[in-house]
Structures are given as C-alpha cells and as structure tokens.
Structure 1
Amino acid sequence: MATICAIGLMSGTSMDGIDVAILKTDGVSAIEAGPSLFVPYEAEFRKRIEASLETARQIVKRQERPGELVELEHEITIRHARAVEAFLSSSAGDWGRPEVIGFHGQTVLHRPQAGITVQLGDGALLARQTGLPVVYDMRANDMAHGGQGAPLVPAYHDALARCLPEPYAGGFPVVFVNIGGISNITYVPAAGDPIAFDTGPGNALIDQWVLREGGVPFDADGAIASEGHVVAGVVERYMAAPFFLKSGPKSLDRNDFTLALAEGLELSDGARTLAAVSAKAILKATEHMPEPPRLWIVCGGGRKNPHIVGDLRTGAEKMGATVIVAEDAGLDGDATEAEAWAFLAVRSLKGLPLTFPTTTGCHEAVTGGILAQPDKMGLPGG
C-alpha cells in the first residue's frame, strides 16, 4: 500500500500544550517516524481550559458549545494552526511534505455511558488556516456503533508492537502503557486484535495535587514525591473504586477520580502516594488481560516520573515481565500519541478500522473521522 506523509496533533488530558509529529505510513505496517515538537500552553490559557470543564458538563448533544466554549474552541484551533506553521517552518519542514493532518482537539467532556464525547477543535477552520486537508472528530463514529469512543491509539500501538527492534521483537504479549492525565493500555497478542482500556488516573491527580498544595503545575521528574512516602491506606482506598472491577473496554473522564481520598496528606507524601496509585492502577489491569504480558512499554509524560515507572517495574518483575520506556525500543515517548493521530488520519483516508470491539466495545471494527478540505466546510470521510 502507498505511504502517505501525515501530521498528527494531540492535546491530551494533561492540558499542558500541543504535541506535533510527522509520520510516513501506509496506515498498516509501514511506519517511518519523523521529528516532533511540543508547544506548551501558557499557564493562564491552561486555567481557561480547566475552567471550561465545568461548563462542558452542561452539554447534552455533542455539537453544543455553551458559554465560553465557542470562543475557546476557536482559540484552540488557531493555536493548533500556529503550531503546525512553527513545525513546518523549522527543520522538520524538510523531512517530508504533509498530505493530511490528523487533529484530535481538546477533550472537555467524555461520558461514554451517555454516548457523548466532546473534543474542542474546528477541523474546517484548521484546514483553511493550514491549507492542508484535516481528518478530525475520529471518536464519534465509534460511539455511533456502540463503542466508548476511547482509546483510539491502540491501532497504532498494535502496528508498533509488530515491528519492534531486537531484543524486544516477538516478545508477545506486549503491553503499551500511555501515561497522560489518564493512563491507558494496549495489550497486543501474537495474533488477533489488540485489547485496550483506560486503567485509571495517570498524571492528572498528581498535577492537581502539586498545583493546589505547592503552587507548581506538575512534579518535574518526581522531585516533590522523592521527599515523601507512600500512604498505603490511601492507595487502597483509590483501588477500591468500582471502576477497577470492570473488564474492558472502559474509559474515563478526567474528573472521574478526584483528590478527595488524598485530603490531609502532606505535599510530598501526597505526590508520592498518587504516583503509587497510578502505578497500582496500571498493574491491576493485568486482571483483565488474557495472559500476563512479557513486555511493558511506557509512553507519555508519566514515563518521566521515576516513582510511577519504578513502582510499575517492581510490580511487573514479580509477574516475570520486563518494563522499558519508549526510548529503550527506539520510540519517542513524547510523540507517540501525536504520531498515532497521524497514523489514524491515514487509516481514515483509506477506510481502514480505527477501533475494534476489543478496544472500545464497538459492535464491529469501524473507521471514522470527518475530512475537511482547505476550501470546503468538511465532508464525511473514511
């Protein structure tokens, strides 16, 4: 199959900025990853997005944009357009000429039980601003076919798992762990479709905790947590949530877990304990896997927290498994999700499935996405 050069844009549940990545792929197995870029949101804009989550709770139909959400969606889209311009005007622009953009947008509401997921981002506006075709709104068709609309990255994880370098090649089952604001896993067997689901809080609770208690937006390299201790009782109270008893597919909204169970902890103890919660939640996911994985590959911002990764490694080793970070396998752990959106855009253009019954609970494997051309308002695509 012919390869297509695509840009992927991702702004995740950590709401810290925009990841830009470029990829040449056939949407199946040929993958050549190029450079990437991170464009951070300034603190005030990040606060605006966080504040919008409360407004988004009013949404009943996914097309609704109450209150400030209309203006915010416009601004988010323009910032993505400027990120693409900055990326292509850098040396990355010499790597390949993009033919399409995969645009995630900013999730402000995810209520799969109500069949609603809302990502702020105007694909038609982005296409006009960049002069490139844009595939966006990739979750909706999955939900229309009975799926939870998340996670979508597993199709890309599955492709990556089947082309790992030595000494990791062929070490199935492989599990990719993406630790963003919320953590999710993709279980890749030697044969068959991937299995995927959200595992629980990732960085979100830690970020909220250190911002509230320490006035900093995140715990850089786990420095705050390194001064603290794990309060086991708090970890166990988090692990008692009914969510962990459910098998996949399952997905979370950023607000499904809160800081309520950590109230009263000292700053560093809270940061360390919440890191332990993130790791324990990931390990608990093995209860819903067909067999224990042999290899765990950790991606996303959470791989930079040595406490999350250390706890995960300790627990996995007891199960006879190896834990590595993305870079150990020659991957870019910061860019994986943005790369995935480029990969999914190509799959959408080719009418290939983005989701599977084993990843989102959809009735059948389905494609998705809307294709917006630079000179048009957006036509059904994929």
Structure 2
Amino acid sequence: MAFLTAIGLMSGTSMDGIDLAILRSDGANVIEFGPSMAVAYDAAFRRRIEASLETAKAIVRREDRPGDLAEMEREITMRHARAVSDFLLSLPAEWQKPDLIGFHGQTVLHRPHLGVTVQLGAGALLAHETGIPVIYDMRANDMAHGGQGAPLVPAYHAALARSLSEPYAAMKPAVFVNVGGISNITYVPDAGAPVAFDTGPGNTLIDQWVSREGGVPYDAGGTIASEGGVVTEVATRYLDNPFFGKSGPKSLDRNDFTLALAEGLELSDGARTLAHVSAEAILKSVAHLPAPPKLWIVCGGGRKNPHIVGDLRAGAEKAGAEVIVAEDAGLNGDATEAEAWAYLAVRSALGQPLTFPTTTGCREPVTGGQRAEP
C-alpha cells in the first residue's frame, strides 16, 4: 500500500501555541499514527498576535500585509520552523524523514461573505528552513469555488470515524466536535457525505474573559468557572444570535462574538456562563443535522473544560445520545487538528478533495493548497 508520511502544524484561534503531529496516510485512511508535540507561545507573543487581529481588519486583498503583518508572518513561520526542527529531533528514527509538512499558519482574518481568509505563514520560507516540501494555504481554493473556507477538518473526522472500534463504530450517526477557539462539528452518517459547520464560540470568549478579568490566559480545568454559576439571561442573549438559526455550511471569525453581553459579570460567573454558551451552541446544531446523533466525540482543548463537556453531556443524554472525549475512543484529543493538517497535506499532494458541498458549501468537491519545495 502506497502512503506518504506528513507532519501537520496547527496554530489555532486560541493562539496558545503550535501543535505538531506526524502520521502516515494513503489519502483515504490513516495507516499509522505517530508522535505529537505542543510548543506554547509566550504571553508577549500571544499579545502581539492579538494585536495583529486588529491590524488585519484593514486587509482588502488576501495578499495585503498592512502594518507589521509582514514581520509577524515571518516570525510565525520561523517559530514553526524551529518547532519542526525540535520535533524531528525528538522522533524515533523511523519517523525522521517525512515527505511533507501541512502548514496551517495563524488565521488573522476570516470573512467568508467577502471571499477573504488570511492565514499568516510563508510556505516557501518554511520549506527552505526545514528542507521539507510544504503544503500550505489550503482554504483559498475552497473559497474560490464558492465555499466558506472552513471547517477543513471534516475529511479527517470522517477518516477517524471509519477507524473507530466497538462499541463506538456501530453508534451512527456520530458527530466529532472540535472545541478550539471556535467550535465546529462533523456529522458522519452510516452512509453518504459528512456534514460540517462551525457551531459558535468554543474557548475564545472564555479565554478572553479570564485574561481580561483574571489576568490568566485560560481557565485551566474549568477551575475559575467551578466557583461560579450560569447567568441565564446572559447565556440566552448570546444564544439568541441569528447565527444559530442558520443552517450549514457556515463559519465564524474569532471576532464575530465578543464579550459585550458579559459585561458586569463577576469573574467566575462569566467563565461558567461562557462555558455554558459553548456547550449549548453545540447542542443547538442538532436542528441543522439530517438526524439526531447517537454519539458525540469531543476533541480540542475544550474537552478539558468539565463544564463544556458536562453541559454537552447533560443535553445530549436527554436525546438519548452519548458524549465521550477523544481519548475514550483511543484518539489523541490534543493532536487532532495537527493530525488533520498532516492528513489534508497528503490528500492535497495526491490531488484528492479537501472540502465538499456539505462541509463548506463549495460548488463541488475540491482539493486545495499550494506546494513549496525546499
């Protein structure tokens, strides 16, 4: 069986660092999972990325780099290059010669209604620095074909669903939930194409809240929220947003939801309320699915927040569904998105579709990505 070995790099909307993972794939299935690693951004660099989100609002064309964005793009790329170097040194010998790198970059602007999505990351520079071919800019071709440019992980989620063992393999429809800065879901039926869309804020509002009100980057283990309660009227105002009434495909920018509705709350009440909003937003997505799911599999950093998972579980159980975290199914919940970018790089290299009309709204299944050689 022919396969390629790829490293996936993800720096998500939580802006907390770089996730790396390596795997082998034939473009359809994962042949073998390899190790993974995470490299945290220091607080000062996170603040610089946050500032770049404001600068990026001036972008009109995808290639525009106003202000210091060109300098940020180079630094983000060089940090990824150093992370790859360190990762390769840590790997067993059989994993040290990857064929490809799948490079996401750092999203600073996502405006699907304008056909614009910008990820800071120079693929050619990364290929030069690492000596490995790089597949990058994987969202643009989808948007050129009428898609939202997000989410891109559904193709990988569908492959993971095919790899599940019992009892979970028989629990279809299944939904993979990626709770990153923004949450997205992939609905995997018994037969047919997956359905996917962004569901709402995941960790981003919680992170912004505890950073602003508590001076910490995130609510580790939901500790802050555990001392508070859900302020129902605030949660209701968030969940009344017209976004939740729209059917998919649909996607969000990190700035589409703000802390405005939470103003005046006490620190712990705000953290608990925003965790509830994240879970309820996911549950509201059922209204836009072909059938109610039997199984929810939670990936991403938000699976470590017991309030998000607990509220999701409580709501799902009312509908007779089971909620598990990735590790319950033998998966690596920390590395799922980085693994997805490795898998998508293989599919791109083989000319296979990355997105589908049912996942992003593109007019037809399309591949994507640019390739940079060392």
Deviations 1:28-49 (A, max 9, x none): 0243111100000000000000
* Structure 1 counterpart of 2:185: 185
Contact 1:296 1:321 in 2 (8 A): yes
1:359 positional shift? 0.3
Spell out the pairing of 1:1-382 with structure 2 (5 A cutoff): 2-92=2-92, 94-374=94-374
Deviations 1:169-203 (A, max 9, x none): 12110100000000000000111111000000000
> For the residues of structure 2 that align with 1:158 and 1:206, how far apart are their CA atoms?
29
> For the residues of structure 2 that align with 1:95 and 1:60, how far apart are their CA atoms?
41
Deviations 1:294-318 (A, max 9, x none): 0000000000000000000000000
Distance change >3 Å, CA 93–CA 121, structure 1 → 2: farther
Opposite residue 136 of structure 2, the aligned amino acid is Y
1:84 positional shift? 0.3
> For the residues of structure 2 that align with 1:29 and 1:108, how far apart are their CA atoms?
31
1:165 positional shift? 1.2
Opposite residue 199 of structure 1, the aligned amino acid is T
Deviations 1:310-341 (A, max 9, x none): 00000000011000000000000000000000
1:3 positional shift? 1.0
Opposite residue 285 of structure 2, the aligned amino acid is A
Opposite residue 40 of structure 2, the aligned amino acid is P
Question: Structure 1 residues 165-174 or 175-184, which shifts more?
Answer: 165-174
1:96 positional shift? 4.8
> For the residues of structure 2 that align with 1:68 and 1:75, how far apart are their CA atoms?
11
> For the residues of structure 2 that align with 1:119 and 1:95, how far apart are their CA atoms?
28
Deviations 1:276-299 (A, max 9, x none): 000000000000000000000000
For residue 86 of structure 2, give the secondary structure of its aligned residue in structure 1. helix
> For the residues of structure 2 that align with 1:199 and 1:29, how far apart are their CA atoms?
26
Contact 1:147 1:360 in 2 (8 A): yes
For residue 297 of structure 2, give the secondary structure of its aligned residue in structure 1. strand
Opposite residue 50 of structure 1, the aligned amino acid is E
Opposite residue 286 of structure 2, the aligned amino acid is T
TM-score, normalization: structure 2? 0.99
Deviations 1:329-365 (A, max 9, x none): 0000000000000000000011000000000000000
Question: Structure 1 residues 6-15 or 159-168, which shifts more?
Answer: 159-168
> For the residues of structure 1 that align with 2:245 and 2:27, how far apart are their CA atoms?
34
Opposite residue 290 of structure 2, the aligned amino acid is P
Question: Structure 1 residues 161-170 or 76-85, which shifts more?
Answer: 161-170
Q: CA RMSD in A?
A: 0.8
Deviations 1:238-264 (A, max 9, x none): 010010010000000000000000111
Distance change >3 Å, CA 92–CA 13, structure 1 → 2: farther
Opposite residue 298 of structure 1, the aligned amino acid is V
Gaps of 5+ in 1: 375-382
TM-score, normalization: structure 1? 0.97
> For the residues of structure 2 that align with 1:233 and 1:31, how far apart are their CA atoms?
48
> For the residues of structure 2 that align with 1:182 and 1:189, how far apart are their CA atoms?
23
Opposite residue 65 of structure 1, the aligned amino acid is R
Distance change >3 Å, CA 30–CA 204, structure 1 → 2: closer
> For the residues of structure 2 that align with 1:93 and 1:50, how far apart are their CA atoms?
38
Opposite residue 78 of structure 2, the aligned amino acid is I
Spell out structure 1 runs of 4+ moving beyond 6 A.
Answer: none
For residue 62 of structure 2, give the secondary structure of its aligned residue in structure 1. coil
> For the residues of structure 1 that align with 2:39 and 2:319, how far apart are their CA atoms?
38
Opposite residue 126 of structure 2, the aligned amino acid is L
For residue 360 of structure 1, give the secondary structure of its aligned residue in structure 2. coil
> For the residues of structure 2 that align with 1:322 and 1:245, how far apart are their CA atoms?
24
How many residue pairs were aligned?
A: 374
For residue 60 of structure 1, give the secondary structure of its aligned residue in structure 2. coil
Question: Structure 1 residues 36-45 or 161-170, which shifts more?
Answer: 161-170
Question: Structure 1 residues 90-99 or 258-267, which shifts more?
Answer: 90-99
> For the residues of structure 2 that align with 1:303 and 1:182, how far apart are their CA atoms?
13
1:92 positional shift? 4.6
> For the residues of structure 2 that align with 1:30 and 1:210, how far apart are their CA atoms?
37
For residue 359 of structure 1, give the secondary structure of its aligned residue in structure 2. coil
> For the residues of structure 2 that align with 1:189 and 1:270, how far apart are their CA atoms?
36
Opposite residue 268 of structure 1, the aligned amino acid is S
Distance change >3 Å, CA 285–CA 117, structure 1 → 2: same
For residue 105 of structure 1, give the secondary structure of its aligned residue in structure 2. strand
> For the residues of structure 1 that align with 2:105 and 2:30, how far apart are their CA atoms?
26
1:2 positional shift? 1.1
For residue 170 of structure 2, give the secondary structure of its aligned residue in structure 1. coil
